[in-house]
Chain A
Amino acid sequence: MKQLIRPTGIISFVLISLLLVLFWWLLADWLLKQSIERSGTALLGAKVELASAQLNLSPFGFELNTLQLTNPDKPMENVVEIAIIEGYLEPLPLLMGQIIVTELRANGVALNTPRSTSGLIDSPKPSQTASPPQEEKAEPSFDFSQALPSLDELLERLPITTIKLADAFDEETRAAFEELEKQFNELPDQQQLKEYEDRLKAAVEGKVKSPQDLKQRLDDLKQLKSELNENKQQLKAVRESIKTQREITSKQWDELKNAPASDLTQLRDSYSLEQDNLGNISGLLFGNQTQKWVTAAQPYLNHGQQLLSDNGEETPPPPPRGEGRFVHFASETARPDFLIKLAQIGLSLSIGELQLTINDITHQPEILNRPTTFTLSGRNLQNIAAIDADGIIDYRDRDNGYAQVKGTITQWQLADFQLSGDSDYPIIISSATQQLEGELRLQQDKLQGNVNSDFEKVLWNQQQQQQASTLQKLLNKIDNFDMQLSLEGQPTAPQVSLRSDLDKRLSNAFKQQFSEERDKLEGKLKTHLNKQIEQRASKYSDQLKLLNQQQGSTDQQLAKIEEMLKSEVKNGIDEQKDKLENKLKDKLKGLF
């Protein structure tokens, strides 16, 4: 037995153990620093640097100073820089291969800080889940002035009845009057009438020289009667034509006079603003800018989704060589391999100090059986009265795991806040007070979120206003509005919808403005049409006068001819007949 036991063995064991502990203790700080820097760099794809690391025995824990995480996309910038991290560990779980941090305090956490040296690493950056390059979306233009045409455009676009009728009036009356003129010219003139009178006198006056003379006079009178009858029919026909044309012209004129009223009605019908047409003005106006905000937030959403998806992997990657993987079983005292029970992080941002508290950070929430929860709060910040947010990441049931955050921003004093990135209509709020509350939920690769914000005491950018666009004039009348942003769909490409009471208010204001503009256009159109009618009114009056003159002249001629026919010609013929009878009687007496 004595040969089997080495008496100095235990002393050697103690000495070796002490040497190992001493060796570990001397190198522990360096090992910790190297471990954090190497594993962090490998994970991030850019340099992770630590000024110093220190292990403490009582209380058992560590302290890290000036931790810098380089932004992989901007090597001269840190994505996060943390001045001091203090952590307290449970020693026993460490021997079981578990890291249980009872409390972690991080102070002086600053984002996007500059670096003195490049944080680029030599090895090629692992290809992240880069979202496919997004196509450049054409920025929608919103030009209110195009809603109404100019007068010339309007005359081209709309079938204006007045113009058509006026043109038809011109054409038809011209043709009708030419025809009337032609007929009128064919009527017997004064000279012709004088000739008829002379012929009548010659036939009825003077002494009858012989029976033959008498017979000749009678034939002349019959011939004259026939011609006068013919002229009478002509005059009657012309008079009828004049009467008809007067009726046609009068009717056309009445239609022409009434046409502007129907044209103006047509203008109103054609250029009216229905509510549907103005359903989502805010989406049209602010959609671009909102999309930019969502695009800016997308890398964080993608990263969050990636982290949460990794948690739920069915087949985890093989562990590094020499390490193995711990398998856990049901136990009342079961602990995950890694757990931070409480993390208190002081964020030093440009807006001020924010306090982030996170409970139960672990990649094995099903073992802990508690979700990760967090709260964020800040008071009296630059331009913001308060920020409050709380959230939960619950992946205990991996198939139905979710992450959710709710938050409010109280009295956010906005200054030169770009609300619309539209190149034609950049809308900038010079100053306003904003109240904002939102909720975001990510579950099973589906993102759902709502952000409601109230803008109060809004002053719009005066410089933009000087451009005096219709829209800016309208916005200037609005000093408060609300806005609701909704996100839904895949985190990589969420559907964004935007609603605002600006829709209704801008619609009303725009309608009012539109009505004013339309009234102006209507006035111009009315003036233009009335001018068209006025131009034709004098012509119509002249034509009417001419018709009246022609009718008067025709009536006179007709009266004269009728008079000649009725009295003089008839009497002359009767007289000549009597004379002829008397002469015949005298001759017969002489015979008998």
Chain B
Amino acid sequence: MLELLAKLLKVLNAEVSPWQISLGFVFGMVMGLTPLWSLNNLLLLLLLLCLRVNLSAFLLSLTLFSGIGYLFDPLMETLGATLLNNPGLVELWSAMYQSDIWRLIHFNNTLTLGSTLLALGLAAPLLLISNLVIRKYRQHILAWVRKSKLMAFFKATKFYDIYSKLSGAAL
């Protein structure tokens, strides 16, 4: 975990594009909230590996949102169940149900549907917000942090040793 945080700090402080980091966050969020062992996530993994997305941000986001997903599991399950049992949507679901492809991605699973819709709904805001936060961090906070007393204290910790080894440079 410490290594992962160190990697994130390295990424944030490095010259990696904020969009790559943000996209890593979003991919991690989607995979973390939705059931892990599914065809959807396999496709997401393919995208993750084929696109230049920051993997450290993805892994950190995956870890974080897996915990959040576990906490909100019943809520997402209820959301999916409500939608699947909505009489107004039955026609849509029935049409999708006739296709094996849709069924392969478990659209008719209450948790898969609820969590996927929630994750997709959060994807765009998270992408934009995280991108903005990273830019602001690099512009204003990074220089201030480097000079702060807190950083002096931080440099004396084991975590800083790990970070130094990974980045090959000091803050």
Q: Mark A432-443, 1 if CB is under 8 A from B, else 0.
A: 000000000000
Is the C-beta of B74 less than 8 angstroms from some C-beta in chain A? yes
| Chain B residue, CB-CB nearest to A9 | B50
Given contacts A5-B52, A10-B50, A323-B35, A329 and B93 within 8 Å (CB-CB): yes
Question: Nearest 3 pairs between A and B by C-beta?
Answer: A324-B111, A9-B50, A9-B49
Q: Which residues of A contact B39 (CB under 8 A)?
A: 95
Is the C-beta of A322 less than 8 angstroms from some C-beta in chain B? yes
Q: Which residues of B contact A322 (CB under 8 A)?
A: 35-36, 70, 73, 111
- Name which of B77-85, B125-133, B152-160 contacts chain A: B77-85
Considering residues A10, A326, A333, which has the most beta carbons from chain B within 10 angstroms of its beta carbon? A326
Q: Which residues of B contact A16 (CB under 8 A)?
A: 45, 49
Compute how far the CA of A119 lies from the CA of B100 in the bound complex, rounded to whole angstroms.
43
Q: Are A324 and B103 touching (Cβ within 8 A)?
A: no
Considering residues B74, B103, B111, which has the most beta carbons from chain A within 10 angstroms of its beta carbon? B103
Q: Are A328 and B108 touching (Cβ within 8 A)?
A: yes
Q: Are B77 and A324 touching (Cβ within 8 A)?
A: yes
Residue from A6, A319, A331, A334 in contact with B110 in the complex, judged by beta carbons closer than 8 Å? A319
| Chain B residue, CB-CB nearest to A97 | B106
Q: Mark B20-38, 1 if CB is under 8 A from A, else 0.
A: 0000000000000001100
Is the C-beta of B2 less than 8 angstroms from some C-beta in chain A? no
Q: Mark B88-113, 1 if CB is under 8 A from A, else 0.
A: 00100110011010011010111110
Is the C-beta of A209 less than 8 angstroms from some C-beta in chain B? no
Q: Which residues of A contact B93 (CB under 8 A)?
A: 327, 329
| Chain B residue, CB-CB nearest to A319 | B77
Residue from B46, B51, B52, B81 in contact with A327 in the complex, judged by beta carbons closer than 8 Å? B81
Q: A residues touching B (Cβ–Cβ < 8 Å)? A: 3-6, 9-10, 12-13, 16-17, 92, 95-97, 318-319, 321-331, 333-334
* Total count of chain B residues near the partner, CB < 8 A: 33
Q: Main SS of chain B's interface residues?
A: helix
Q: Which residues of A contact B90 (CB under 8 A)?
A: 329
Given contacts A96-B106, A323-B35, A324-B77, A329 and B97 within 8 Å (CB-CB): yes
Q: B residues touching A (Cβ–Cβ < 8 Å)? A: 35-36, 39, 42, 45-46, 49-52, 70, 73-74, 77, 80-81, 84-85, 90, 93-94, 97-98, 100, 103-104, 106, 108-112, 114
| Chain A residue, CB-CB nearest to B17 | A3
Q: Are B110 and A13 touching (Cβ within 8 A)?
A: no
Q: Are A327 and B108 touching (Cβ within 8 A)?
A: yes
Compute how far the CA of A333 lies from the CA of B103 in the bound complex, rounded to whole angstroms.
12
Nearest CB of chain B from residue A584's CB, rounded to whole Å? 159
Compute how far the CA of A323 lies from the CA of B111 in the bound complex, rounded to whole angstroms.
7
Residue from B35, B45, B70, B85 in contact with A324 in the complex, judged by beta carbons closer than 8 Å? B35
Q: Are A325 and B110 touching (Cβ within 8 A)?
A: yes
Nearest CB of chain A from residue B92's CB, rounded to whole Å? 10
Nearest CB of chain A from residue B52's CB, rounded to whole Å? 5
Given contacts A6-B50, A10-B50, A326 and B73 within 8 Å (CB-CB): no
Compute how far the CA of A6 lies from the CA of B80 in the bound complex, rounded to whole angstroms.
34
Given contacts A323-B35, A324-B77, A329-B94, A3 and B110 within 8 Å (CB-CB): no
